[in-house]
Amino acid sequence: MSRHRSAGSGALVGVGIAAFVDETVFHQLLHWHHFYDKSTPAAGLVSDGIFHAFGWIALVAGLFLYADLQRRGGFARGSWWGGLLAGAGGFQLYDGTVQHKLLRLHQIRYDVDLLAYDLAWNVAAVVLLLAGVVLLRRRHG
């Protein structure tokens, strides 16, 4: 029970962190990502709106669940970290494949050869996701 709750809290925080890093680092600091890209179809805007809002809500909810687990003494560290890595990797993989490629929301960077960027982005996402799954299975097994 508390392991599942810990994994859930970690996953929400992970999704939130991935969304936060995407927004602050890639949009605001590096200016690689564009607010809007002229090739974006309507489905891209809808997906962006939902996942952008979900990222913020997930971060806040995950942190309050974390505080609640600590308060009850039911915090399972390994499950929480497993959830966090899986959540962050899963969100980044969705962003890198569906949102960037399928829905063409925006690309990782402009005026460069994208292949290396796309590979680095999605391989990093898969590594995070697998690390999280391994951690979760070890703790649950």
Partner 1 sequence: MWSYSGAGMAEGALAPLLLGWAYLLGVSRLRARGDIWPRGRVVAAVGGLLALAAALLPPLAGHDEEFPVHVVQHLLLGMLAPLLLVLAAPVTLALRTAPPSVRGRLLRVLHGRAARVATAPVTVLVLDVGGLFALYLTPLYALSADSTALHLAVHAHVVASGVLLSWLLVGVDPGPRRPSTLGRLAVLLVAASAHGILAKLLYAHGLPAGAAGDRGLGAQLLYYGGDATEVLLAAAILAQWYLRTGRVAARAARRSPA
- Residues interacting with partner 1, by CB under 8 A? 35-36, 40, 45-46, 48-50, 52-54, 56-57, 60-61, 64, 67-68, 71-72
CB of 59 to partner 1, least distance (A): 8
CB of 62 to partner 1, least distance (A): 10
C-beta closer to partner 1: residue 72 or 140: 72
- For residue 117, give both structure tokens: 């960027």
CB of 40 to partner 1, least distance (A): 7
Contact (CB, 8 A) for 6 and 87: no
C-beta closer to partner 1: residue 25 or 57: 57
- For residue 122, give both structure tokens: 């999605």
Cα–Cα distance, 129 to 7 (Å, whole number): 13
Q: List b or e across 93-112, with b for residues whose CB sees 16 or more CB atoms inside 10 angstroms.
A: bbbbeebbeebebbbbbeee
40's CB contacts (< 8 A; 6+ apart) are: 103, 104, 105, 106
C-beta closer to partner 1: residue 56 or 117: 56
C-beta closer to partner 1: residue 41 or 120: 41
Cα–Cα distance, 31 to 23 (Å, whole number): 10
> Coil, strand or helix: which one is 106?
coil
CB of 24 to partner 1, least distance (A): 11
